[in-house]
Amino acid sequence: MSQPKLLDSLLYSLLHKDDVATFNKERPLDGAIDMRDGDFRGLDLRELNADGIDFTNAYFRSADLRGIDFSNASLEGASLAHAQISGAYFPPELSADEILMSMNFGTRLRYRTR
């Protein structure tokens, strides 16, 4: 299993400085944004435009994710341990039980296949 890491990108550094507004302005309008394996522990990411972001194996321990629409983001393998997720919208491939297990025990999110 990969360890969370600080990513070497301008967009990641904006999020790590809790500058979500600038991130949303600077992000590309189309195409995927690679945030795989990123360390987002304890960050306030409310208001984040998560559309098209690849958060595969990301680590969100104690992050504030309230109100974020993750429906078009990839969260496979991410951990939500103790994150605040009130009002967040998750991809339909993630069951409520899977999200709850990740929040309570730090398990990595697994997408269900259809």
Q: What is the CA radius of gyration of the chain?
A: 13
Residue 14 lies inside a defined structural domain of this protein: yes
Q: What is the pLDDT of residue 50?
A: 97
CB count, 10 Å around CB of 12? 19
pLDDT digit string (tens) for the chain, length 114 residues: 567 888 999 999 999 999 999 999 999 988 889 999 999 999 999 999 999 999 999 999 999 999 999 999 999 999 999 999 999 999 999 999 999 999 999 999 999 875
Within a domain: residue 114?
Answer: no
60 is a domain residue: yes
Q: How far apart are CA 46 and CA 68, in angstroms?
A: 6
Residue 106 burial (C-beta neighbours within 10 Å; 0-12, 13-18, 19+): middle
Q: Are 84 and 105 in contact (CB under 8 A)?
A: no
Quote the domain boundaries for residue 47. 1-109
pLDDT for 61 equals 96
What's the total number of domains in the chain?
1
